[in-house]
Structure 1
Amino acid sequence: MKFLLVAVSLIGSALAQNIHIGAPANGSSIQVGKQFTVEVDRPNSLTGTQEVAIVIGLNACYSSTDCVPASEAIGSVLYSGPYDPQYTSDAGTTTKPPHQNFTVTVPDYIQTGRAILSVSHLSLVGAGPWPMFEVVNSSVVITSS
């Protein structure tokens, strides 16, 4: 019984550490050669977390029906480095979870059409700590400029 309680507690604290892509929204269009903002949200948690890094990638789908899963291929790396989510302090904005915005550019060489925008996230969780790695993604449409 104690094992089950500990397991449920660990799963709950791990889920509270998960990131989400706040922007662009799933299905959004982004233009070749243009900048766009990727908002990476991380809900607040009572469990201590030390952020290590994220990688933002964009991988074109070379078929109208199939895309390579984000966990298997990042594609073009748009950002690689530190992640430090914070609350927005602007007056009059809607309440958001801790997040960080990254301004990135769609590469000129990427194929237009469906693509997978992915964020790979590594953090250290808990007092131990233990490493947590995850990959989240959003489907976007790349258009010509």
Structure 2
Amino acid sequence: MMFMKSIFALAAFATAVYAQSVTIAAPVEGTSVTAGQNFTVDIARPNTLSPSQEVAVVIGLVSCSEAPFNGNCASFDVSQIFGTILYNGPYTPTLHNGPSPDFIDFYQNFTLTVPSWFTPGSASLNVAHVSLIGAGPFPDLEVKNITLNVVAA
């Protein structure tokens, strides 16, 4: 009986954490961005019934063309190498209706600039999201990333 309670508690914990998870809603994977130009990053999270408090996001950009990655963005752990920090600060998403009446989420847009000196080619756009979850609450850190294509100005 104790084993079943432990499994249930673990499943509830995993569900609560997953429900707080953010996504990089924009730009989409493979988007081209220009060095020296602005682009918008949309960080979204679903509406949830479990209590949570948003703390911050950090958005970084790292070139996949340089050693030790040699053009392969999937070959490194973005939680260990985050790249050039484009934003580090509060995450205060607001409630918006999604593409259908049943889909409602929270999101915040960030207008960022690709550094003019950034190496053209594949780059990993990385997002670290920090929140406090539950009645306790407990801290949660998650890292998401997508690959972009940086083009020279």
What range describes the TM-score normalised by the shorter chain of this pair? over 0.9
Q: Tell which deviates more after alignment, 42-51 or 98-107.
A: 42-51
1:16 paired to 2:23: no
Does residue 94 (structure 1) correspond to residue 99 (structure 2)? The answer is: yes
For residue 72 of structure 2, the aligned residue among 50, 65, 69 is 65
Runs of 5+ in structure 1 lacking a partner? none
* Deviation, structure 1 residue 110: 1.1
Amino acid at match of 1:109: W
Q: Deviations over 1:62-94 (max 9, x none)?
A: 2223553211111110000000111237xxx73
Could you state the TM-score of these two structures normalised by the residue count of structure 1? 0.92
Q: Percent identity?
A: 39
Indicate whether 1:110 and 2:115 are aligned.
no
Structure with the higher strand share, 1 or 2: 2
* Shift in Å, 1:37: 0.2
SS of 2:105's partner is coil
1:35 aligns with 38
- The residue aligned with 1:123 is 131
Q: In angstroms, what is the RMSD of aligned CA positions?
A: 1.4
Moved runs in structure 1, 4+ residues, more than 6 A? none
Matched residue, 2:82: 74
**1:2 correspondence with 2:5:** yes
Secondary structure in 2 aligned to 1:87? strand
* Distance in 2 between residues matched to 1:6 and 1:102, nearest whole Å: 36
| Aligned-residue offset at 1:3 | 1.1
Scaled by the length of structure 2, the TM-score of the pair is 0.88
Larger deviation, residues 61-70 vs 12-21: 61-70
User: Distance between the aligned counterparts of 2:134 and 2:23, measured in 1?
Assistant: 20
